[in-house]
Amino acid sequence: MNQWYYVDSNQQQQGPVDQEQLVQQYRLGNVALDALVWRDGMGQWQPLRDIATELGLLAQAAAPLEQHDVRTTEQTEAALPPRRADTETTEERPITGRAVFTAREPSYAQHAAPHASQAEAVAAAAVAQASASSGFDSPYAPPAAALTGRTRVLDGGPVVYAGFRKRAAAHFIDSLIIGVIGGVIGMVIGGIMGAALGFGGETSAGALIAIQVVVQLVSLGLTAAYYAGFHASRSMATLGKMAIGIKVVRTDGDQITLARGVGRYFATIISGLTLLIGYLMAAFTEQKKALHDMICDTLVVDKWAFTDHPEWQREELGTVTVVVLVLFGLLFVGFIAVFALVGARLAAFGA
């Protein structure tokens, strides 16, 4: 049986309840027709009036009218407030931030099914008139809503924060990708500038300095664009974070902007300048926040956090994370071993 959620008159999410309980709440007057409801399988929250037929609310309202109300459809429509022919009912959309639904109820008769019975149409018109006369007309924000051009955010569910090990594994992958791409671009720039400066008669030392400055600036811009662009995208994650199954969001679960993504990248430099303590803070803070997260008001969470499937989140590291950590651990140990061996050989040669 489907489990329903609804927003009450106090703008609070209620549920889950089954269909009979939702209908009972409607009969008791605790849920109005302009209240937003949702169940699994629905793309977004909808006013109760839009699914009144599915819940059988129209049939229940039609029965008393068929027995006691002898007015014709024309009389009922005449009793309704006049409509302006030059005005179209449009759905209001938010401009920025979370989506906000305006609970202004239009006449349900405008949206009734083409093949609905006359009794259902009369009942719908009567219900719409009663709702309009009640004076309830207040916009409110539901706990879940579609964002225009952005990923839908759902509050209220559990959130699994990405710990230090998951973040480290994602960083290793991203560093490898950036290193390869940056290396290729650096070689191309170095070759072009080397040839140009050589023909210009510059000294080799000056040419090397100029090449290094340009390559480092290009590398910095490329890295900032990589992290900021991916974090501000619909995936909200770099390629490394996608592989691990985590993402970067605001503390309210919303998608970050490109400007915030750029700022967050440069804030990571501060985390690095603190002898990596800024990064290590992710292993000890309550919400697994690193220093740059605190500066930029961001969180790193499981990719299913703040969605309509929070139950799909995973606390465990996952296979990809374990494999990446093991491989980079072995590479680090191998690097230390080679460095120690070379040092020992040089010491023996010097002796």
Given this model, what pLDDT does residue 322 score? 96
Structure tokens at 72: 């014709």
Helices (H), the chain: 19-27, 52-55, 57-68, 73-79, 118-133, 164-199, 204-231, 239-244, 258-273, 277-280, 291-296, 319-350
Domain co-membership, 183 together with 267? yes
Domain co-membership, 217 together with 91? no
Domain co-membership, 186 together with 116? no
The pairing of strands 150-154 and 246-250 is unpaired
Domain co-membership, 26 together with 133? yes
Domain co-membership, 259 together with 306? yes
Given this model, what pLDDT does residue 302 score? 97
Assigned domain for 159 exists? no
Amino acid (one-letter) located at 51 = I
Domain co-membership, 20 together with 120? yes
Given this model, what pLDDT does residue 104 score? 34
The pairing of strands 4-7 and 13-17 is antiparallel
What is the rounded distance in angstroms from the CA atom of residue 97 to the CA atom of residue 140? 14
Q: Say how many domains are in the chain.
A: 3
Domain co-membership, 244 together with 105? no
Range of the domain at 11: 4-148
Domain co-membership, 275 together with 339? no
Assigned domain for 11 exists? yes
Closest CA to 6 of 42, 40, 47, 41: 47
Assigned domain for 154 exists? no
Q: What is the mean pLDDT of each run of 10 residues along the chain (351 residues)?
A: 79 82 83 84 82 74 47 50 47 41 36 45 50 42 44 75 96 96 91 74 72 92 96 96 97 95 97 94 94 97 93 94 96 93 85 62
Q: Looking at 124, 148, 172, which one is the last position of a domain?
A: 148
Closest CA to 55 of 22, 9, 92: 22
Domain co-membership, 312 together with 326? no
Assigned domain for 87 exists? yes
What is the rounded distance in angstroms from the CA atom of residue 172 to the CA atom of residue 22? 50
Domain co-membership, 346 together with 217? no
Given this model, what pLDDT does residue 60 score? 55
100 contacts 94 by C-beta, under 8 angstroms? yes
For the full predicted model, state whether its pTM sits above 0.75: no
Task: Classify 13 as helix, strand or coil.
Answer: strand
Q: Looking at 120, 148, 176, which one is the last position of a domain?
A: 148
Domain co-membership, 281 together with 326? no
Domain co-membership, 117 together with 138? yes
Assigned domain for 50 exists? yes
Assigned domain for 158 exists? no
